Structure 1
Amino acid sequence: MDDLDAWKIQAARHRGITRELAAFIAGLRPGDVPATTRAVLESAVVDGIGCGLHGLTTPWGGIMRDYARDRGGPAEAGLWGGQAHVSVNHAVLAAGTAIHGFDFDDHSRAKIHPGALVLPVVLALGEREGSSGATALAAMAAGYETMNRVSQGVNPSRARMRGWHLTGTTGTLAAAAAASVMLGFDADTTASALGLAGTQSAGLWAFTADGGMSKRLHPGRSAEAGVAAALLAQRGFRGPHYILEAEDGGLLFGMSDDPRPERVVAGLGKDWHTDATCFKPHACCGSNHACIDAALALKREHGIRAEDIARIVTGIPSVVMTQTGFDYKADSVLNAQMSLRYNVAVALVDGQAYLEQFTPERIVDRATFELAGRVEIEIDPEIDRAYPKVYGGKVVLVMRDGRSFERRVDYSLGMPENPMARADIVAKYRSLADYAIGAEAGETILRLAAGIFDAPTIVPLGAALAAVEVTQGAAMEVQA
């Protein structure tokens, strides 16, 4: 039996998983969402809005907001920070780009950023439809579950190694799933929405080659595609109902050389992947957080001074080596956020890797640049075997006086095994919102966001986000 025959057998064995997923989405009710999952999503709303408000201060966030305002369309949903209402399609494009605008938004070990596209879809369609907070809860749960499960079905490590950015490629289906709940679709219409969304999947990792803005675009574009898919399905435009598992051109087999279709529906409705959502304390790639935490712990425990370090040895998985192990050139904020070498170095120099560490001025600091050049990266076999179930990392500091210190971290702060407290997520929101729109406006948004799932309608939150004025964006010149 050749590889093609084996592939066809595997595809046939899992025929129907798209429709099974669609039936789950269509049948999901607010009361089906467990309390633990609801609590995660409550934090995701606050965290995502904070990240989006800050994202509006970036050049790419501002460009996309202005583009969406210029393109306009029917006044269906608030344009965040735009003092305008535009079509749902343009509203989610701009909001999704803003939320992912500084790579500070929630993520998961399925190598995705679900909040950046699910939240805009729920808020925009909720405003258009006058939806309740309870409906928003079910829609967010559907979107998060869909995105996690599709990414797991693709086999995220293998898809990533083929150059796909999974937030873009799996996000279209998550957006369509959330939209299907917001619009009250039955299973057949939901399956069409998923099929139309899946055929629009896109997102490539080439942004690290030169610091291009495309990574910031992917969630917004996925949200836009998912909404378009749902609105077309609502009109009777039929999509492929085997988009995930089709033998010729199905998403799972097209994106990966080792897909796992059974992961899409295993434990559906019982095992909630949403509960494994990770929130970021550091404003950079989540795959680097374990090494950052290890470096910070060594700095605190041993009073490490950066100038006393001779070299730094990091141990990471092979996928992370490909993703963030490139030489640090100090050529863009994006590449500084993705660079393991810079992330570890700046954490050791400054004692944090927050917003201040990722400005055009900070990323070219000579001492930090030189320390980043002393970071050696190795693939640790044990950590590599555990990835992506465990996003681990190890740091060894070799001092100029001959001493060495070592720390391994399996679960960095923000992982479900080592969660950020709700108070810390709120504090993060305030730091982002205060900078972007001021404390008073930030608190107004926070009050609405914190109680969203109990609200009789979520329209006021969308209207408030549209009304805010960004106070810092014009002065902030951030490189691509």
Structure 2
Amino acid sequence: MAHHYTAELAAFVADLKFESLPGAVVDHARLLALDTFGCGLLGSRMPWSRILLETLRDVEVAGDALVWGTDARLSAPGAALVNGTAVHGFELDDVGPGGHNGSVVLTSALALADHFGGVSGRDLITAMVAGIEVAARVQECVGRTPQVKNGFHGPGLLGTFGAAAAAARILGLNREQVVHAFGHAGQQAAGLMAVQHGGMGKRLLAGKAAHSGVLSALLASRGFTNVPDIFEREYGGFCSAFCGGQPVYDLSRLVKGLGEEWFTPRVLFKMWACRVPIHPPLEALRSLRRRHPLPPEEVERVTVWLDEGAVKAVGFPWTPTTVTSAQLNLAYCCAVFLLEDDVSVGQFAEEKLADPRVLELAAKVRAVHDPALEGGPGLGRRARVEVRLKDGTTLSAVGTVRGGAENPVTRADVEAKFRKLTHGVLDAAGQDRLIAACDRLDLLADSAELTALLEIPAPKPDAEEVLR
């Protein structure tokens, strides 16, 4: 089989220039940087990020790349691993075409910028966009089969290519080198849905994708070669393998609209600290609560209709296990929303996971597959919710993920989220400086200005304190 698809995608990455980016793409990339930094600074205080940092510091010599929210420096792959884990570490990072983008593209690009120096804000934006556009097209190519049918975690698969593309752009790789970087990325891509059911493994998925992407680009830059057809190869190629050997992928989608159709502005900013398929039901409950107070003690049943992938991802019964599992569980999140009118950091304190009121309400939430919701623009982007109260009243609403045309998120929303997430990590002046730096990201002469704003000696709170 010809391997021109891999070559064309690699050429796009190698040749991409800031001057070719539409204004709307640049604007969204700047806002994505702010959102990513907010998520990363919050995540830097989480126990999983601390364990990961301590582990790497124990086995690595100090490097040049900053671990955000600390004063620690690691190798570029090591910093990308920790920062990607931190950004994705509380289910608040962006989501959209290609998965969770900031956690893989910005972490990879800035880690290499720290290491090599001489990288401008325009270079960072170009790298971010290259990564997002590549990851989005890999998603378009393979569709939802790897996630929905085979149980792989999309960002761990797609994000590795996004990270490799972003890293390749920072390193200035040529077309042939990017082809090899994609080959390295393909053989390292991984991520299993099973890890969402306990422990800290889910937190690591984006970080490992960032780490693998950086390593892939670095190897390619040194002449470490790989196959030229990682996407096209029928036996053991990325698309075939992760689609179970079935011809359900479309290689033409890897290159369709390159340089003309841009996925970057479609990246959504999450306003709830939980997995994306839970967002539409929460939006529906939020809209219902504007019409009716929905007293928790009066709720008899909550029925949520979702697409097949969403039911598999979040529709399992709630049994108290870990914070991670709670954030990925529809019943828990709906219950805690009805009780506290929010689903953010405070709603996942350890003592709430087995709270009798939460357990009682969670048992009343039922996920149902609705075939009519299949075929939309991504996993779990729409849901129908019906709430039946004990007096017989039935209320229903349709919810969509916030951030799209039907349910937009404003720049003010993203800034408010950033301030909320970084409260206690940055003072007000520090928040203002980082916001201003992201607003003028395309004017920064040196990315070191950003890194300086992210360097903060980290306290060592325990998990209970962080989540309280």
Are the counterparts in 2 of residues 169 and 222 from structure 1 also a CA contact under 8 Å?
Answer: yes
Match of 2:425 in 1: 436
Are the counterparts in 2 of residues 437 and 471 from structure 1 also a CA contact under 8 Å?
Answer: no
Matched, 1:118 2:105: yes
Task: Kindly report which structure 2 residues correspond to 1:8-19, keeping only aligned pairs within 5 A, or say none.
Answer: 12=1, 15-19=3-7
Are the counterparts in 2 of residues 124 and 462 from structure 1 also a CA contact under 8 Å?
Answer: no
For residues 432-480 of structure 1, give each alpha carbon's deviation from its aligned partner in whole angstroms, at most 9, with x where no partner exists: 1113344343333333333222101111212332x3023474464579x
Q: Give me the whole-angstrom Cα distance separating, in 2, the residues matched to 1:198 and 1:288.
A: 29
- Pick one of 185, 190, 207 that aligns with 1:202: 190
Matched, 1:340 2:327: no
What SS is found at the alignment partner of 1:175? helix
Match of 1:8 in 2: none
For residues 173-194 of structure 1, give each alpha carbon's deviation from its aligned partner in whole angstroms, at most 9, with x where no partner exists: 1111011111111111111111
Matched, 1:253 2:240: yes
For residues 220-253 of structure 1, give each alpha carbon's deviation from its aligned partner in whole angstroms, at most 9, with x where no partner exists: 1111111111111111111212111111211011
User: Normalising by the residue count of structure 1, what TM-score does the alignment of the two structures yield?
Assistant: 0.92
Match of 1:356 in 2: 346
Q: Would the alpha carbon gap of residues 252 and 416 (structure 1) be closer, same or farther in structure 2, given more than 3 Å must change?
A: farther
Match of 1:289 in 2: 279
Are the counterparts in 2 of residues 174 and 226 from structure 1 also a CA contact under 8 Å?
Answer: yes
Match of 2:48 in 1: 60
- Pick one of 14, 20, 35 that aligns with 2:23: 35
Q: Give me the whole-angstrom Cα distance separating, in 1, the residues matched to 2:108 and 2:408.
A: 26
- Pick one of 2, 21, 32 that aligns with 2:9: 21
Are the counterparts in 1 of residues 69 and 425 from structure 2 also a CA contact under 8 Å?
Answer: no
Instruction: Mark the runs of 5 or more structure 1 residues left unpaired by the alignment.
Output: 1-11
What SS is found at the alignment partner of 2:3? coil
Q: Give me the whole-angstrom Cα distance separating, in 2, the residues matched to 1:424 and 1:118.
A: 22
Question: How high is the sequence identity, in percent, across the aligned residues?
Answer: 33
Query: What is the CA distance between 1:104 and its match in structure 2?
Result: 0.6
Q: Give me the whole-angstrom Cα distance separating, in 2, the residues matched to 1:56 and 1:161.
A: 33
- Pick one of 437, 452, 464 that aligns with 1:463: 452
Q: Give me the whole-angstrom Cα distance separating, in 1, the residues matched to 2:451 and 2:337.
A: 36
Q: Would the alpha carbon gap of residues 197 and 73 (structure 1) be closer, same or farther in structure 2, given more than 3 Å must change?
A: farther
Task: Kindly report which structure 2 residues correspond to 1:255-334, keeping only aligned pairs within 5 A, or say none.
Answer: 255-256=242-243, 257=246, 258-334=248-324
Are the counterparts in 2 of residues 146 and 173 from structure 1 also a CA contact under 8 Å?
Answer: yes
Q: CA RMSD in A?
A: 1.9
Query: What is the CA distance between 1:267 and its match in structure 2?
Result: 0.8
Are the counterparts in 2 of residues 69 and 82 from structure 1 also a CA contact under 8 Å?
Answer: no
Match of 2:205 in 1: 218
Are the counterparts in 2 of residues 312 and 375 from structure 1 also a CA contact under 8 Å?
Answer: yes
Query: What is the CA distance between 1:202 and its match in structure 2?
Result: 1.1
Are the counterparts in 1 of residues 29 and 128 from structure 2 also a CA contact under 8 Å?
Answer: yes
Q: Would the alpha carbon gap of residues 320 and 185 (structure 1) be closer, same or farther in structure 2, given more than 3 Å must change?
A: same
Match of 2:171 in 1: 183
- Pick one of 140, 144, 157 that aligns with 1:156: 144
Match of 1:452 in 2: 441
What SS is found at the alignment partner of 1:386? coil
What SS is found at the alignment partner of 1:268? coil
What SS is found at the alignment partner of 2:414? helix
Match of 1:426 in 2: 415
What SS is found at the alignment partner of 2:300? strand
* Amino acid aligned to 1:330: P
Are the counterparts in 1 of residues 148 and 312 from structure 2 also a CA contact under 8 Å?
Answer: no
Matched, 1:365 2:352: no
- Pick one of 78, 82, 88 that aligns with 1:94: 82
- Pick one of 153, 167, 181 that aligns with 1:165: 153
Q: Would the alpha carbon gap of residues 475 and 391 (structure 1) be closer, same or farther in structure 2, given more than 3 Å must change?
A: closer
Matched, 1:233 2:220: yes
Q: Give me the whole-angstrom Cα distance separating, in 1, the residues matched to 2:344 and 2:5.
A: 41
* Amino acid aligned to 1:196: H
Aligned residues: 463
For residues 146-177 of structure 1, give each alpha carbon's deviation from its aligned partner in whole angstroms, at most 9, with x where no partner exists: 11111221212443320111111122211110
- Pick one of 122, 128, 134 that aligns with 1:140: 128
What SS is found at the alignment partner of 2:423? helix
Match of 1:414 in 2: 403
Q: Give me the whole-angstrom Cα distance separating, in 2, the residues matched to 1:253 and 1:388.
A: 21
Q: Give me the whole-angstrom Cα distance separating, in 2, the residues matched to 1:229 and 1:237.
A: 9
Q: Would the alpha carbon gap of residues 51 and 294 (structure 1) be closer, same or farther in structure 2, given more than 3 Å must change?
A: same
Matched, 1:131 2:103: no
Are the counterparts in 2 of residues 135 and 182 from structure 1 also a CA contact under 8 Å?
Answer: yes
Q: Give me the whole-angstrom Cα distance separating, in 1, the residues matched to 2:383 and 2:226.
A: 42
Q: Give me the whole-angstrom Cα distance separating, in 2, the residues matched to 1:330 and 1:144.
A: 35
Q: Would the alpha carbon gap of residues 334 and 104 (structure 1) be closer, same or farther in structure 2, given more than 3 Å must change?
A: same
What SS is found at the alignment partner of 2:235? coil
Query: What is the CA distance between 1:80 and its match in structure 2?
Result: 1.8
Q: Give me the whole-angstrom Cα distance separating, in 1, the residues matched to 2:406 and 2:327.
A: 24
Q: Give me the whole-angstrom Cα distance separating, in 2, the residues matched to 1:287 and 1:15.
A: 35
Query: What is the CA distance between 1:416 and its match in structure 2?
Result: 5.0
Q: Give me the whole-angstrom Cα distance separating, in 1, the residues matched to 2:462 and 2:438.
A: 26
* Amino acid aligned to 1:235: R
Matched, 1:108 2:84: no
Query: What is the CA distance between 1:417 and its match in structure 2?
Result: 4.2
Q: Would the alpha carbon gap of residues 275 and 285 (structure 1) be closer, same or farther in structure 2, given more than 3 Å must change?
A: same
Matched, 1:70 2:81: no
User: Normalising by the residue count of structure 2, what TM-score does the alignment of the two structures yield?
Assistant: 0.94
Query: What is the CA distance between 1:308 and its match in structure 2?
Result: 0.8
Query: What is the CA distance between 1:362 and its match in structure 2?
Result: 2.2
Q: Give me the whole-angstrom Cα distance separating, in 2, the residues matched to 1:191 and 1:274.
A: 22
What SS is found at the alignment partner of 1:405? strand
* Amino acid aligned to 2:394: S
- Pick one of 383, 389, 408 that aligns with 1:399: 389
Are the counterparts in 2 of residues 103 and 285 from structure 1 also a CA contact under 8 Å?
Answer: yes
